[in-house]
Amino acid sequence: MTDFSSVAMMRQNTLRRVLREILLRGPISRAELARITGVSKPTMSEVFRELEEDGWVQVSGRRQGKVGRSAMVYSVAPQRALVFGADVGGTKIRAALVDMTGEIVAETVVATEPSGGDFVVAQIADLADDLAREADVGRSRILAGTIGLPGAFDAATGRLMMVPNIEGLEGSAIRDRLEARLGFSVSIGNDVNMAAKGEQWRGAGAGLSSFAFIALGTGIGMGVINENRILSGARGAAGEIATLPVGADPYDSRTFRSGALETAVGSAAIKDRYEALGGERDLDVRRIIDRLSEDDHRAARVLDEVARCVGAAILAVCAVVDPARVILGGSIGSRQEVLSRVRMAVAGCMPAPPSITISQLGSRAGLLGTLAEGSENLWNELFEADGDSGLVRQRAGGEAGEVA
Amino acid sequence: MTDFSSVAMMRQNTLRRVLREILLRGPISRAELARITGVSKPTMSEVFRELEEDGWVQVSGRRQGKVGRSAMVYSVAPQRALVFGADVGGTKIRAALVDMTGEIVAETVVATEPSGGDFVVAQIADLADDLAREADVGRSRILAGTIGLPGAFDAATGRLMMVPNIEGLEGSAIRDRLEARLGFSVSIGNDVNMAAKGEQWRGAGAGLSSFAFIALGTGIGMGVINENRILSGARGAAGEIATLPVGADPYDSRTFRSGALETAVGSAAIKDRYEALGGERDLDVRRIIDRLSEDDHRAARVLDEVARCVGAAILAVCAVVDPARVILGGSIGSRQEVLSRVRMAVAGCMPAPPSITISQLGSRAGLLGTLAEGSENLWNELFEADGDSGLVRQRAGGEAGEVA
DNA sequence: CGCATTAGTTCAACCCGTTTACAAATATGT
DNA sequence: ACATATTTGTAAACGGGTTGAACTAATGCG
């Protein structure tokens, strides 16, 4: 909305406007920016002085070769503001730091603390410290962070519900706990939603404003992006498609709690189906899919059945949210053998099926999503928010200083 | 984003900020507003002078009874800016004008021009004229409008697709045509989405930020509100749940084009089912439902079957978008006899079903939704947009004047 | 009727951005 | 090599918008 109209706010706005343009347009001179934005040259110089003093921009060269005086070229100091992202899974935590230009300056993977709860919170905080050290930047330069977690984060109550795999987080005010430990503003996202966001940032969803990401592995889950926003639902449970009435009778008491679709296409279901057809016992799902190349007709039949269920699920998803594309991920969903069968199935039940592709980022999708989400939040805070974004501290009798 | 920081913009911002506060806080004095907003008294008086000169605010009384000098109390001139809304159906067009306080100042219903196309466009334009006359306001005071239409409006291409019931609109750039005729900025919305918006504005969705509205009549359709925004989908086809894989095999070639769910629960399906059970022929669906009170076991069985399908559809919708509530509307959906059966069905397939209620606005829901949507658009244009919102014309050697 | 209190105006001062003018630096043409 | 056109960047004067302080106006209260 419109910001405060006080005189002091005007400079704050100019600072934001100029910094944003430098970020968007890359290395640029003051005169050039003055022409583009309409801000006068004297003001531009003054603004650059403040931004440079505060460490936001730095000289990155001189423009030469053209007629006239050579220009000082400035660019944003990428490490002035960093964003922390972490994708917390039941077994692994992936974490990284990204700078303002979108470059990942440090990344790591560790095993999740099996004790869960506060141990995981502490572990995440340590990761932030480690990464800052690794990237050789001040810890205080991390201004925002996003944590991806399995489960539904209810923004209204601030609590994380339905958390599988990690002990001691069910019903926890995880955001507040993390903020207290990390010392910067934290947002929480569902792991599959984050994977969708990641694919949009630099994966199979690049350039799309509305699409769905379906993670098909042990279980099944979905993240939907609609008009560039994550579809969250009233309790943060949107995309929990395990319960879709597909593959089994939804009114059957056996599927009442576990979810019809998941009992039809989850890893356990695939194994069960394979064994029921007389296939080898205790075989990993990956191995079952591998056997397709050995002309295992049982594996082929099982996969066909699974694909028909996934196809119907995609039909349902398209009926409700109309995605431009469906991206398949997860250990099963990202198999080419599954994709081709799903495409076939979808062609059999939809007159105008969406494009269907495989995740480009694999297991890193979730992490990249948290980085994208965190960067977006920081961007909004710096450039879109009302009032004082704390870009450059108001000088009250002193020098300009740190960020809020 | 942040607006232009030029000096001239500062006053524009102050105007917007002040006008918005007056709208939100109702009748208020200048001194009071100065205290609340932090804007100084001299500036506040100057701003009020401009707003009054331009007709945005007017004196509405004096504050007396308190110690000290009595204050002039101002409020927004409600008819300074009006919004036009129209819900265009196959047989009827409902249209209305709403002022800035949200009060409907004129409303009408007419039969839709059967010739369709340009005739309907002209008809809508005439309605705007008629309503302005009826409300006794200048036609130019209508600053924005929203038209609800059946079909999917693809914002990317600007064209309306899949239009049933109205001739000559398929594939049309309907927004541009309407804007040309109406002379103010127009937005297009799907009729069911508009009904959902209407229920949120002043119906069964009041106070909810995420819910679904399901229209069950001749066909079946849905509008979803997620985080106060309409879920549109990539091609504006979100909520077209006629094709949900419920009630029939989605891979059956007979339901390939018509949609599994719609062939199971549409009016035609209900009649067919009833007749197949040996019920009276050529009976209106409304009459079939009426017969429940006469202990017609065939009607009961048909309705139970339909409710089970709707229940499974709601399960699917909840799995995908997690609404806080499902509102049933349309000629069939708004029947109490249907609601109770659907509630029963849902309890049989969901551990934690959403609340399910009947539309409070009936056939006016769509119209109210267009008014809500149009008001929201105007609000954004006036108060949230970048740069010059044209609230008060820049004085260039003359008096302040009209709006853009 | 005087006083405390609140509403609203006048005026000088300040901050920010712009315009204009000018100094500094660089490529180009002769 | 040198003048010239061109561009960058700074200095000074100016103007618009907001503010704080001082002031006038109006009202309730004792």
pLDDT digits 0-9 by tens, B138-192: 999 999 999 999 999 998 899 999 888 888 889 999 999 999 999 999 999 999 9
CB-closest option in B222, B243, B322 to A235: B322
Query: What residues does B229 pair with on adjacent strands?
Result: B226
CA dihedral (B134, B138, B143, B147) positive or negative: positive
CA of B68 to C1' of D24 (A): 14
- Report yes or no: A201 and A361 within 8 Å, Cβ to Cβ: no
What does the angle CA A183 – CA A189 – CA A191 come to, to the nearest 5 degrees?
Answer: 125
What does the angle CA B239 – CA A190 – CA A170 come to, to the nearest 5 degrees?
Answer: 120
Query: What element of type H or E holds B193?
Result: helix B191-202
Return the percent helix, strand and coil in chain B, to nearest 5.
45, 20, 35
Q: Can you name the CATH fold of A81-196+365-389?
A: Nucleotidyltransferase; domain 5 (3.30.420)
CB A65: neighbour CB atoms within 10 A? Answer: 6
| Nearest CA among B27, B79, B82 for reference residue B55 | B79
Is B350 in contact with A243 (Cβ distance < 8 A)? yes
Is A4 in contact with B16 (Cβ distance < 8 A)? no
Nucleotide nearest to B5 (CA to C1'): C17
List, as ranges, residues 299-318 from A with C-beta within 8 Å of B: 308, 312, 315-318
Instruction: Give the model confidence (pLDDT) of A226-285 as tens digits.
Output: 999 999 999 999 999 999 999 888 898 888 878 888 888 989 999 999 999 988 888 999
CB B32: neighbour CB atoms within 10 A? Answer: 16
> Tokens standing for A297?
């007709």
| Buried-state track B134-162, b at ≥16 Cβ within 10 A, e below 16 | ebebeeebbbbbbbbbbbbbbeeeebbbb
Q: Which residue is nearest to nucleotide C14 (CA to C1')?
A: A7
**pLDDT grade, residue B402 (50/70/90)?**
very low
Looking at every residue in chain B, the average pLDDT score rounds to 91
Can you give the pLDDT at residue B400? 31
Distance CA B54, CA B206 (A): 34
Can you give the pLDDT at residue A62? 87
- Report yes or no: B221 and B146 within 8 Å, Cβ to Cβ: no
Region B322-342: mean pLDDT is: 96
CATH number of B4-76: 1.10.10.10
pTM of the model: 0.92
Give the residue ranges with Cβ < 7 A from strand D: A 5-7, 29-32, 35, 41-42, 45, 66-72; B 7-8, 10-11, 13-14, 38-43, 46-47, 62, 64-70
CA of B97 to C1' of D9 (A): 56
Fold agreement between A81-196+365-389 and A207-360? yes
List, as ranges, residues 317-336 from B with C-beta within 8 Å of A: 317-324
Most confident of A272-286, B209-223, B373-387: B209-223
| Buried-state track A184-214, b at ≥16 Cβ within 10 A, e below 16 | bbbbbbbbbbbbbbbbbbbbbbeebbbbbbb
Can you give the pLDDT at residue B259? 84
CA dihedral (B286, B289, B294, B297) positive or negative: positive
Position with higher pLDDT, B26 vs A272:
A272
Looking at the predicted structure, is the pLDDT value of residue A387 above 70? no
Can you give the pLDDT at residue A140? 94
- Find the range with the poorest average confidence among A153-157, B61-65, B373-377: B61-65
Region A343-352: mean pLDDT is: 94
**pLDDT grade, residue A3 (50/70/90)?**
low
Say whether residue A1 is in contact with chain B using an 8 A CB cutoff. yes
Distance CA B399, CA A127 (A): 62
Any strand C atom closer than 7 Å to B162 CB:
no
Can you give the pLDDT at residue A278? 87
Is A237 in contact with B322 (Cβ distance < 8 A)? yes
Is A322 in contact with B232 (Cβ distance < 8 A)? yes
Looking at the predicted structure, is the pLDDT value of residue A401 above 50? no
CA of B42 to C1' of C13 (A): 15
Is B320 in contact with A38 (Cβ distance < 8 A)? no
Looking at the predicted structure, is the pLDDT value of residue A342 above 80? yes
Looking at the predicted structure, is the pLDDT value of residue B394 above 60? no
Collect all residues of chain B within an 8 Å Cβ-Cβ radius of residue A351. 256-257
**pLDDT grade, residue B252 (50/70/90)?**
confident
CA of B79 to C1' of C7 (A): 28
Collect all residues of chain B within an 8 Å Cβ-Cβ radius of residue A355. none
| Nearest CA among A182, A86, A80, A85 for reference residue A141 | A80
Say whether residue B66 is in contact with chain A using an 8 A CB cutoff. no
Q: What is the DSSP letter of B77?
A: -
Position with higher pLDDT, A48 vs A385:
A48
**pLDDT grade, residue A5 (50/70/90)?**
low
Q: What is the largest CA-CA distance in chain A?
A: 82
Region B280-285: mean pLDDT is: 89
Looking at every residue in chain A, the average pLDDT score rounds to 91
Can you give the pLDDT at residue B4? 57
Rg over alpha carbons for chain A, rounded to the nearest Å, is 25
Can you give the pLDDT at residue A20? 94
Looking at the predicted structure, is the pLDDT value of residue B203 above 90? yes
- Report yes or no: A247 and A312 within 8 Å, Cβ to Cβ: yes
Can you give the pLDDT at residue A397? 34
Query: For every residue of chain A, which 3-state class applies, written as one string?
Result: CCCCCCHHHHHHHHHHHHHHHHHHHCCEEHHHHHHHHCCCHHHHHHHHHHHHHCCCEEEEEEECCCCCCCEEEEEECHHHCEEEEEEECCCEEEEEEECCCCCEEEEEEEECCCCCHHHHHHHHHHHHHHHHHHHCCCHHHEEEEEEEECCEEECCCCEEECCCCCCCCCCECHHHHHHHHHCCEEEEEEHHHHHHHHHHHHCCCCCCCCEEEEEECCCEEEEEEECCEECCCCCCCCCCHHHCCCCCCCCCHHHCCCCHHHHHHCHHHHHHHHHHCCCCCCCCHHHHHHHHHHCCHHHHHHHHHHHHHHHHHHHHHHHHHCCCEEEEEHHHHCCHHHHHHHHHHHHCCCCCCCEEEECCCHHHHHHHHHHHHHHHHHHHHHHHCCCCCCCCCCCCCCCCCCCC
Say whether residue A387 is in contact with chain B using an 8 A CB cutoff. no
Can you give the pLDDT at residue A8? 81
Is A320 in contact with B241 (Cβ distance < 8 A)? yes
| Residue owning tokens 């009233």 | A234
Distance CA A105, CA B381 (A): 40
Burial category of A293 from C-beta neighbours within 10 Å (exposed 0-12, middle 13-18, buried 19 and up): exposed
Instruction: Give the model confidence (pLDDT) of B27-65 as tens digits.
Output: 999 999 999 999 999 999 999 999 999 999 999 998 888
Can you give the pLDDT at residue A50? 94
CA of B41 to C1' of D17 (A): 13
Can you give the pLDDT at residue A117? 86
Is B250 in contact with A349 (Cβ distance < 8 A)? yes
Can you give the pLDDT at residue A240? 94
Any strand C atom closer than 7 Å to A351 CB:
no
Can you give the pLDDT at residue B181? 95
Is B250 in contact with A4 (Cβ distance < 8 A)? no
| Nearest CA among B1, B3, B51 for reference residue B23 | B51
CB-closest option in A237, A257, A324 to B351: A257
Q: Could you give the percent of chain A with pLDDT greater than 70?
A: 95
CA of B169 to C1' of D3 (A): 70
- Report yes or no: B136 and B173 within 8 Å, Cβ to Cβ: no
Query: What element of type H or E holds B146?
Result: strand B142-149
Q: Between A and B, how many CB-CB pairs are < 8 A?
A: 182
Is A244 in contact with B348 (Cβ distance < 8 A)? no
Looking at the predicted structure, is the pLDDT value of residue A123 above 70? yes
Distance, in angstroms, between B299 CA and closest chain A CA?
A: 22
- Report yes or no: B312 and B343 within 8 Å, Cβ to Cβ: no
Can you give the pLDDT at residue A393? 62
Superfamily holding B207-360:
ATPase, nucleotide binding domain (3.30.420.40)
Distance CA A214, CA A328 (A): 5
Region A359-373: mean pLDDT is: 97
List, as ranges, residues 188-247 from B with C-beta within 8 Å of A: 208-211, 222, 224, 226-227, 229, 231-246
Nucleotide nearest to B71 (CA to C1'): C7
Distance, in angstroms, between A37 CA and closest chain B CA?
A: 9
Inter-residue long-range contacts of A385-389, CB under 8 Å, 24+ positions, other chains counted: A386/A1, A386/A2, A386/A3, A386/A4, A387/A3, A387/A4, A387/A9, A388/A4, A388/A9, A388/A12, A389/A12, A389/A16
Burial category of B223 from C-beta neighbours within 10 Å (exposed 0-12, middle 13-18, buried 19 and up): buried
Structural domain boundaries in chain A: 4-76, 81-196+365-389, 207-360
Looking at the predicted structure, is the pLDDT value of residue B396 above 80? no
Looking at the predicted structure, is the pLDDT value of residue B387 above 70? no
Collect all residues of chain B within an 8 Å Cβ-Cβ radius of residue A208. 234
Can you give the pLDDT at residue A239? 96
Position with higher pLDDT, B1 vs B68:
B68
Any strand C atom closer than 7 Å to B50 CB:
no
Region A324-348: mean pLDDT is: 96
